[in-house]
Amino acid sequence: MARRSTKPSIYKFWTNISFSMSDHRMMATSCTLRPQLGDFVNVMDYKALLDGIEDNLGSKAAAVIISAAGRTYGKKIATALGASMESQDLPTILKRLNLCLGMEGTRLCMIEEVSQQENFIRVKVTEPVEMSGETGGSSRLCPFTLGILGGFIDQVMQRRHQARQVPVADQINLQTEFEFTPL
């Protein structure tokens, strides 16, 4: 007898998202995953999870796994939004992603600036969840945010990119930058 998974599917979550065709916003229509507590958790709970994974696997192995999970999630977001380069330029498409991840969405981070150079794409974000509670001079990496952005860009551009977090002097105002170079 096959065992049935009791884990909620992320696909089921995305099927309960409403799309406003006028401005391409994604918002949960109701608290579908947790009817009493809602679909959001405290940032410190996420930080505890991140720290626990890093402590048990080491920071490099944890970053690989967490960014791979983010990449998968980013691709699913791009697919759910129907985002493609055929219809718009990358900065415009990433603004749509910001509606999903920023103040009107899950609040993972805010995409502040996108620049598309000849050899790479640079995305500047503020308040990524991984940097919550960090102090000045922090060298905190943001593997989940990096992965989500990378997966989204890969899916939209139909091309794999090498992603890296760019060191920003003193990680001012909880901001960081990422570069994505086509492979």
Q: What is the Cα–Cα distance from 182 to 167, expressed in whole angstroms?
A: 20
- In the prediction, which pLDDT does 8 show? 42
pLDDT digits (tens, 9 = 90+) for 164-177: 998 766 556 678 89
| The predicted structure's pLDDT at residue 104 | 84
Look at residue 47 and tell me whether its pLDDT is greater than 70: yes
- With pLDDT > 70 as the criterion, what percentage of the chain qualifies? 77
Closest CA to 115 of 24, 25, 180: 180
N- to C-terminal Cα distance for the chain? 44
What's the burial of 80, exposed, middle or buried (CB within 10 Å: 0-12/13-18/19+)?
Answer: middle
pTM metric for this prediction: 0.79
In sequence order, the 6+-apart residues with CB closer than 8 A to the CB of 113 are 122, 123, 124
Return the pLDDT at 133.
81
The two structure tokens encoding residue 49:
């999870």
SS3 140: coil
CB atoms within 10 A of CB 143: 26
Which of 129, 92, 135, 93 shows the shortest CA–CA distance to 110? 129
| CA angle at 142 for the pair 110 and 175, rounded to the nearest 5° | 45
φ/ψ of residue 166, rounded to 5:
-90, 125
Alpha-carbon separation of residue 132 from 48, 60, 93 (angstroms): 11, 20, 26
> Has residue 15 got a pLDDT over 80?
no
Is the Cα torsion angle 27, 29, 32, 34 positive or negative in sign? positive
Under DSSP, the state recorded for 39 is S
Residues 118-143, mean pLDDT to the nearest whole number: 85
Residue 7, pLDDT above cutoff 50? no
